[in-house]
Structure 1
């Protein structure tokens, strides 16, 4: 499950993939809205990894 934390890292570091103006969304170039879309996606992935961990047992 920890591998999910690498997805945003790779998705944002692979700049040639999203270094373009088209397609535009609400007038924003692809470059900007792609990066902004990763904010909630990263939060969701972090939450999923957190929830998948086994709870710590009380002593």
Structure 2
């Protein structure tokens, strides 16, 4: 009985897997972040936006991994 519950769990959270592609999609649309303003601590938007998505991508990957594992 316990094995049946473990087998069904990943299927319930399968909707989380597309979250892995969110950072990829956010970086595809370059005209959206191709500007210098708003600057954050003197760093142009173009650079800190990409660095932010690196961190968010890692967090999303970890979340999806633990939710589906």
Distance in 2, matches of 1:53 and 1:10, equals 21
Alignment gaps of 5+ in structure 2: 1-15
Give me the TM-score of the superposition, normalised by structure 2.
0.74
Equivalent pairs, count: 54
Equivalent residue, structure 2, for 1:45: 60
Give me the TM-score of the superposition, normalised by structure 1.
0.86
Moved over 3 A (4+): none
Alignment gaps of 5+ in structure 1: 55-59
Higher relative helix content: 2
Larger Rg: 2
